[in-house]
Structure 1
Amino acid sequence: MGAALGILTAIGGFVDIGDLVTNAVVGSRFGLSLAWVVVVGVVGICLFASMAGRVAAVSGRATFEIVRERLGPRAAGANLVASFAINLLTLTAEIGGIALALHLASSVEPRLWIPVAGLAVWLVLWRVKFEVMENVAGLMGLLLVGFAVAPFLLGPDWGELMRQAVPPSPPGTEHVATYWYYAVALFGAAMTPYEVFFFSSGAVEERWTAKDLATNRVNVLIGFPLGGLLSLSIAACAAVVLLPAGIEVSALSQIVLPVAQAGGPLLLAVVIVGIVAATFGAALETALSSGYSLAQYLGWSWGTFRRPAHAARFHLTMIVAVLLGVGILMTSVDPVMVTEMSVVFSAVALPLTYVPILVVANDPQYMGRYVNGRVVNALGTVYLVIVLVAAVAAIPLMIATGAGS
């Protein structure tokens, strides 16, 4: 399936536990007044994922390999430390998200599901081929389309939803600083760094060449806009049901409440399966990205197409990352809190991810005639300014607003 990599990257990256929580929180507090951030994030991730995929297809090498060679070990090392830390934090949140989703389906204590989720992630990474992984996780994650169906079943006042979205402005009950804090968090959730590293490495796993540039475009233009649509649907569900009731999201059960109200047990069951698949796919992505980044930086053999015995350090890195995530969660830390922290710190790390990609995509030594055109470079420059502003503002806004509280 030509678009499977893009669907997996979008479902497991754009609509991971971070987006589920952040979009639901935003919808329950701000309605659709922050919908514009999702649109900005979709365009940005499409732009840079397309560059990363093109670099991989033309050069035959993943982005991190070239970043180290092109920018040197120090700059790439700073990128590695930041991306690995964010990957680990996000992986922890995703494993927690799997446990919370399984708790919804079974009513079994989430802490009992955490080691099960970690073991399942490791087994899939160890035994399942990349092609099978991307097809199964991506397609099952499409069951999240239940969130897109729910608003139509709820029969909202569409005019009111449009008034919330256009022109965008914070509700009178919310402080302007809190509004911008969640704007930065939503932007960080949309452009999480591991998405482009996973997408680039996945292109190498699938052995893309310059002949696959059309496949790259299909993956980007189908996968990420689909993820953006689902993100807006989650916010819309919360805006229709939770905002009028004054319910602020603090648990996964509240995120699916509008779905249950709209379509009853059947639609709820469909969405819960989608959440399990999406968080599981995101856990696979973040674990793989941890292995990819470290192995590519250090020049190790890597890839799921290689047996564990032939890429032992790559697979060991992923095992250690999963174990660390499980260990953190077993301390009784709140997975929702971990999720909220992960998207904010993702925003902080954005420049270290996207500046090198823009540099490499303009280097004729690697790209030949496939370097960025003027329009792409202009858009890339605009987004670098946005990324830098978001990175600089993230921590001060988190402190000033008490993490949005």
Structure 2
Amino acid sequence: MDKQASPNKLAAFFKKLGPGLITGASDDDPSGIATYSQAGAQFGLTTLWTSLLTFPLMAAVQGMCARIGLVTSQGLTVTLKMHYPRPVLYLMLLFSFPAITLNIGADIQGMGAVCHMIFPAIPVSVFCVLVTAIMMFIIIQYSYQKIAMILKWLCLSLLLYIIVPFMIKQDWAQVAKNTFIPTIQYNKDFFSIIVAILGTTISPYLFFWQTTMEAEDQQHNGKGIVVDKKILGDMKTDVNTGMLFSNMVMFFIILTAGSVLYPAGVREIDTVDQAAKALQPLAGKLTYLIFASGVLGTGLLAIPVLAGSQSYMLAETLGWSAGLDKKFAQAKPFYISIIVSLIVGLSLDFLGVSPIKALLYTAIAYGLTAPVMIVMIMHIGNNKKIMKEFTNSRLSNVLGALTLILMTAAAVAMIYFLF
């Protein structure tokens, strides 16, 4: 009986995983990998503690977004449009769109560069075009359910980053010390990387994606708009699992770069393929191939989320028919906006925009704009007119406020040291 119960419990657990797992996993995209690799290469193991800090903060904010999606049965953009002054919504879009477009471009470039590294005879630009074409085909051709299933399987690619550090000799006492005892350096470079880590981990586009996907998932599962304790409990399991997974991967990427690249004197990581290349002579070809394969898997996972979140925001603002379950003919403007965002992102490669600059500017832009979004999410989460009896718990409000304070303080410190 116990033997049968265990697989059944495991199956029931995996059935609960959906939007939260995909959102968490997509956060570790090629731009995130580059940021975490740069943190490890530049500062060794001294930023490992950030993963312990960001997990509860990320889980709290994404949990608020998920609850808003379940209770309102609509995206965050629609809620802002219905209940708040229009300038608030337009301000969110103004800050979010350039950062998301840069993020898409940086991820496409990162994937193209890694493919070129594995197959050097083919130029980076060819791979970039190929990646973009594959993304367009998948998003337009497949229904929401199929895309969600593909994305869930792609989450497995992140396990590669958990394996890598165990293939290298580690000083686990030093790892534990840097994980549980925070180290802070009072200079511009350190605060820039902290803002970049916070920005790439607690990203505004994930707020929009999580809210919309929870609403869509609710409709696809035939649960309607009735929210009860079981639905909220399943949502928490999904979100907490996704955010834990995301932060574990972040931890292991910083650990890999900090324990391999930093001691070897590699201090600058300009691209994700550079991070992989630097690993090859120091940690072996297998480690480098695993690292490179992870970049491709995470890119395929993250780009539909980035392009989709941007198009949902635009469609919900302008009142277009939107949804990944709709055919192209049923939601032409929605799908055209996805195609445009991918093409604009791709064009960054041909315009000669530096991938690492795009990545860092993206992460810093997220770090500067996220506090404003968190204020709005917390206000919505505590608004009884919108959320009825499902307003934020005290713990959610405390963690949300802490997220707001830390992200604001880090951004202010970075600006101070910058000027």
Q: Give the structure-2-normalised TM-score.
A: 0.88
CA deviation profile, 1:219-269 (whole Å, cap 9, x unmatched): 211111111111110111111111111012223234235765798545544
Please, what is the CA RMSD of the aligned residues?
A: 2.1
Structure 2 vs 1, CA of residues 273 and 135 (structure 1 numbering), >3 Å: closer, same or farther?
A: farther
Shift of 1:170: 5.0
Structure 2, unaligned runs of 5 or more: 1-14, 220-224
User: In structure 2, what is the equivalent of residue 242 of structure 1?
Assistant: 261
More displaced stretch, 204-213 vs 343-352: 204-213
Match of 2:188 among 160, 177, 185: 177
- Of the candidates 81, 87, 99, which is equivalent to residue 112 of structure 2? 99
Show the counterpart of 2:243. 224
CA contact (8 A) 2:69 2:215 kept: yes
Q: Is 1:6–1:224's contact at 8 Å kept on the other side of the alignment? A: yes
Per the TM alignment, residue 7 of structure 1 is displaced from its structure 2 partner at its CA by 2.3
How do 1:317-336 residues align onto structure 2 when only pairs under 5 Å count?
Answer: 317-336=337-356
Match of 2:139 in 1: 125
- State the SS of the aligned residue for 2:262: helix
* Match runs of 1:265-276 below 5 Å: 265-266=285-286, 268-276=288-296
The residue identity in structure 1 corresponding to 2:304 is L
Q: Which residue of 1 aligns with 2:308?
A: 288
- Check the 8 A contact 2:64/2:396 in 1, yes or no: no
> Secondary structure, in 3 states, of the residue corresponding to 1:369?
coil
Contact 2:108 2:128 in 1 (8 A): yes
Paired with 2:361 and 2:48, the residues of 1 have a C-alpha distance of: 21
Distance 1:166 1:351, change over 3 A: closer
Is the deviation greater in 318-327 or in 254-263?
254-263
Q: Distance in 2 between matches of 1:170 and 1:367?
A: 39
Q: Report the Cα offset of residue 74 of structure 1.
A: 0.9
Counterparts in 2 of 1:5-404, with a 5 A limit? 5-13=19-27, 15-107=28-120, 108-169=122-183, 176-207=187-218, 209=225, 210-211=227-228, 212-248=231-267, 249-256=269-276, 260=280, 264-266=284-286, 268-397=288-417, 399-400=418-419
Q: List runs of 5+ in structure 1 lacking aligned partners.
A: 401-405
Distance 1:137 1:263, change over 3 A: farther
What CA distance in whole angstroms lies between the structure 2 residues aligned with 1:303 and 1:394? 39
Please tell me whether the aligned partners of residues 261 and 279 of structure 2 are also in contact (alpha carbons under 8 angstroms). no
Aligned partners of 2:345, 2:274: CA distance in 1, in Å? 24
Deviation at 1:332, TM superposition (A): 2.3
| Matches of 1:269 and 1:135, distance apart in 2 | 25
Cα separation, partners in 2 of 1:213 and 1:263, compared to 1, 3 Å: farther
Shift in Å, 1:288? 0.5
Indicate the SS of the match to 1:207.
helix
Q: 1:17 to 1:183 in 2, by over 3 A?
A: same
| Partner amino acid, structure 2, of 1:184 | V
**Amino acid in structure 1 at the alignment position of 2:410:** A
- Asked whether the equivalents of residues 72 and 386 of structure 2 are also in contact (C-alpha less than 8 Å), the reply is yes
Query: Cα–Cα, structure 1 residues 394 and 321, in superposed 2: closer, same or farther, change >3 Å?
Result: farther
CA distance in 1, matches of 2:318, 2:409: 31
- Deviations along 1:141-191, one digit per CA (max 9) or x if unpaired, are 4223222222222121112333444533257xxx63321221111111110
Aligned positions, number: 395
Assess if the C-alpha contact under 8 Å between 1:92 and 1:326 holds in 2: yes
On the 8 A contact 2:154/2:301 being kept in 1, the answer is: no
Asked if the contact 2:188–2:414 (Cα under 8 Å) also holds between the matched residues in 1, the reply is: no
Distance 1:154 1:122, change over 3 A: same
Cα distance in structure 1, aligned partners of 2:136 and 2:415: 33
Q: TM-score, normalised by structure 1?
A: 0.91
3-state SS of 1:206 partner? helix
Deviation, structure 1 residue 290: 1.0
